[in-house]
């Protein structure tokens, strides 16, 4: 059974600081996704990572994938309040297309 | 751009009642997924359909059933509702012909189901 673990689960940081969220998964995968969710809202797709060494950046967020270590990171640069949300990584197994989500990281950026 | 549409957005039911949730995927998307998200939890996969056929089944209770229709919209039918069924129910759609670099499940706004 595929297991996906994120850490930290809660992250409170000051504006302007940098931080990294980690996502580990237990079996081989051909796609890893990062989603953002605001309270009570839908899940917004941020990144899809396909291959080992893949790196994608959008604004202050950068995601990377190490398939050998089964690890993905979401790096936040110079955080701003608008980034406050819950961030989920989700893994798609090679045998199907369902997504298995991590527990989510609730990020709060304080002024 | 068109997004996934779900209806209703909010639903309040009593225990043992039934509920039907509807999902209209993004045009030309051929795969629909249903996920359940409890309070403070991550989304859990329930069931998926590809070209109107069930393609995968997850932790969906036997009291729930779903189908995808000829116009690709999908309905999740829930019977004998329990308090624990209270959750956000998301539908997501995916275009099977999308290139891998953009192969993403796009989520709808969700239906918030409250069982009293």
Give how far B50 is from chain A: nearest CA, Å. Answer: 10
- The verdict on A100 touching B (C-beta cutoff 8 Å) is yes
Give how far A8 is from chain B: nearest CA, Å. Answer: 14
Beta-carbon contacts of residue B64 (< 8 Å; ≥ 6 apart)? B46, B47, B76, B77, B78, B79
From the list B45, B103, B109, the residue facing A31 with the nearest CB is B103
pLDDT score at B2: 82
As a whole number of angstroms, the distance between CA A90 and CA B32 comes to: 17
Q: Which residue of B has its CA nearest to A6?
A: B42
> For B69-72, which contacts have Cβ atoms below 8 Å and span 24 or more sequence positions?
B72/B24, B72/B25, B72/B29, B72/B30, B72/B32
> Which is it for the CA torsion B95, B98, A52, A38, positive or negative?
negative
- Confidence label for B24 from pLDDT (cuts 50, 70 and 90): very high
What are the chain B neighbours of A48 within 8 Å (beta carbons)?
101-104
- On the question of pLDDT at B101 being above 70, the answer is no
pLDDT score at B7: 98
Q: Which residue of B has its CA nearest to A56?
A: B101
Q: Which residue of B has its CA nearest to A30?
A: B100
- On the question of pLDDT at B92 being above 70, the answer is yes
Does the distance separating the beta carbons of B103 and A42 come in below 8 Å?
no
Per-residue pLDDT of chain A (111 residues; tens, 9 = 90+): 889 999 999 999 999 999 999 999 998 887 899 999 999 999 999 999 988 888 999 999 999 999 999 999 999 999 999 999 999 999 998 777 899 999 999 999 998
Averaged pLDDT of chain B: 94
- Tell me the pLDDT tens digit for each residue of B29-62: 989 999 999 999 999 999 999 999 999 999 899 9
User: If 0-12 CB within 10 Å is exposed, 13-18 middle and 19+ buried, where does residue A75 land?
Assistant: middle
């Amino acid at each position: 059974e595929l297991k996906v673990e994120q850490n930290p689960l809660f992250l409170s940081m000051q504006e302007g600081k940098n931080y990294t969220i980690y996502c580990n998964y237990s079996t081989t995968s051909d796609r890893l996704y990062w989603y953002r969710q605001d309270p009570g809202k839908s899940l917004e797709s941020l990144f899809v990572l396909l291959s080992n060494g893949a790196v994608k950046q959008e604004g202050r967020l950068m995601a990377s994938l190490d398939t050998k270590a089964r690890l993905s990171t979401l790096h936040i640069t110079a955080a701003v309040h608008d980034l406050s949300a819950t961030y989920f990584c989700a893994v798609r197994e090679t045998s199907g297309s369902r997504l298995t989500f991590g527990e989510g990281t609730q990020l709060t950026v304080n002024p | 751009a068109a997004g996934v549409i779900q209806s209703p957005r909010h639903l309040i039911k009593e225990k043992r009642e039934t509920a039907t949730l509807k999902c209209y995927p993004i045009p030309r998307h051929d795969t629909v997924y249903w996920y359940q998200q409890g309070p403070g939890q991550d989304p859990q996969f329930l069931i998926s359909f590809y070209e109107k056929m069930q393609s995968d089944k997850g932790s969906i209770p036997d009291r729930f059933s779903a189908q995808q229709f000829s116009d690709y919209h999908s309905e999740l039918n829930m019977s004998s509702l329990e308090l624990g069924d209270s959750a956000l129910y998301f539908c997501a759609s995916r275009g099977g012909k999308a290139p891998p670099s953009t192969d993403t499940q796009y989520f709808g706004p969700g239906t918030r189901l409250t069982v009293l």
